[in-house]
Structure 1
């Protein structure tokens, strides 16, 4: 029963659910129409209820993060496929094996940020990742190395993405909607670190850049690890030459190679 004085005079919704389980087994009681709407999974999964499900995904993580006292985050994006360096030989391609060092860099970066978070009371600059393997695991692992809470925003994929073991269990979330997941990545973000990755990483990076460029989000430092990789994948100057972005827009991105460089950019941006 809630202790909120504004609604404490009303019967608890959970009590009604428990009461419904004890009703006589009759054709009326078994009818789907008799189920309480909020306890009716079949009803909640209807196409017409998509808006409600979007709101539930937004609200659940927001309420939990607020109750845990998380005020701000540092977000790490990067490939789920980049292996830990000691597993380099098991990488499915030479290209991924060549990127294995970024696992260690992401872990080191996350640990450095987490140590700062702990020093400030643990409410700010909490490491947040997509909660899966690869670079995401490295980020959560680095924060765990420092003894900090760390967030994982997982998503249900056709090939199940399991949360990595380093995410704080009480801060491990799961989403159906990519859009809501990306909102939570950015709602508390005070800095963003981007490591080599594929379509998902590109999507997350450009979402953040676009929101900042268009003024829909406050500017935060965006540090991109691995200039050689990224400048081969995306020809950013060509966008300026074509006139589709302004040259000043390139200033939204800072290419770095080391943790110290990244921290310096973040410190100056904050």
Structure 2
């Protein structure tokens, strides 16, 4: 039976729980050809039914609901989203993802961003603990290695919770060992995962990364630019990297974005720079 409270505070409930019916159905499943038939399974307890193409809409709802309920149960009110390259190693560790000597040298030089991401997460998490009991400005990452690991690790360094939103991928999909287990999730749908990144976001800290990092960055910028999302600090760590790989000024010159769209971005070099941008934005 579920240990969740009954809807009535005295424990009375006129209907049997779905969990009890699931257990009862499992107990009789081997009895007759009728009870062994897949059609006899309870719909919510039938994995074959739930993974049909026609039930995709149900699965989308479930992926939205499951983390949401966990965040409500944990009392998490707001987050700081931390993105960055999965391939960037910690300082002193060989670049496991390098395909040639140039990539090896560049990735290992980028380990400074791992350290800054870790320190930034420490600062955010200390503030979260002292100001809200760990309910506001909670670090959330994609849960993988590299900069994402650094974010979860920084929170763990100071004994704070952090969120891991993983996705099923051919590689780099396992959650890093620093994420809070009770706040570690696995997604099938990128779209729902993206929603959970932003639903409680009060800031985004974006470190150098690849397609995935840029995908998340530009989606957030688009939502803010079109006023489909409230303006929040979007902090790009490593100005030289970002201005080398993306010419924001060229977009302005081309007329494809407005000059004041550049004000949506804040550049930072250190963890302290990034945190100061958040403090100034929220005036605390």
Q: Secondary structure at the match of 2:92?
A: helix
CA offset at residue 171 of structure 1?
A: 0.5
* Mapped partners of 1:179, 1:110: distance in 2: 25
Pairing 1:87–2:96 present? no
The structure 2 residue matched to 1:29, chosen from 35, 49, 53, is 35
Question: What TM-score results when the alignment is normalised by the length of structure 1?
Answer: 0.97
The structure 1 residue matched to 2:258, chosen from 242, 246, 249, is 246
The structure 2 residue matched to 1:39, chosen from 31, 45, 61, is 45
CA offset at residue 22 of structure 1?
A: 2.1
Deviation per CA, 1:98-142: give whole Å up to 9, x if none. 211100000011001100001012110111101110000000001
* Mapped partners of 2:97, 2:37: distance in 1: 53
Give ranges in structure 1 of 5+ residues lacking alignment: none
* Mapped partners of 1:246, 1:84: distance in 2: 38
* Mapped partners of 2:23, 2:96: distance in 1: 51
Match of 1:15 in 2: 20
Q: Secondary structure at the match of 1:10?
A: coil
> Following superposition, which runs of at least 4 residues in structure 1 exceed 6 angstroms of deviation?
none
CA contact (8 A) 1:129 1:140 kept: yes
Pairing 1:163–2:167 present? no
CA RMSD of aligned residues (A): 1.4
CA contact (8 A) 2:87 2:96 kept: no
Give ranges in structure 2 of 5+ residues lacking alignment: 99-103
CA contact (8 A) 1:209 1:252 kept: yes
Match of 2:220 in 1: 208
* Mapped partners of 2:241, 2:34: distance in 1: 64
Deviation per CA, 1:206-252: give whole Å up to 9, x if none. 11111111111111101100111111111111111111110111100
The structure 2 residue matched to 1:109, chosen from 120, 130, 136, is 120
* Mapped partners of 1:167, 1:28: distance in 2: 45
The structure 2 residue matched to 1:52, chosen from 42, 55, 58, is 58
The structure 1 residue matched to 2:143, chosen from 121, 128, 131, is 131
CA offset at residue 41 of structure 1?
A: 0.3
Count of residues in correspondence between the two structures:
270
CA contact (8 A) 2:119 2:154 kept: yes
Deviation per CA, 1:29-72: give whole Å up to 9, x if none. 11111110000000000011001001000000000011001111
CA contact (8 A) 2:203 2:232 kept: yes
Match of 1:64 in 2: 70
The structure 2 residue matched to 1:4, chosen from 4, 7, 32, is 7
Pairing 1:78–2:79 present? no
* Mapped partners of 2:134, 2:95: distance in 1: 37
What are the equivalent positions in structure 2 for 1:219-234 lying under 5 Å apart?
219-234=231-246
CA 1:163–1:90 in 2, change beyond 3 Å: closer, same or farther? closer
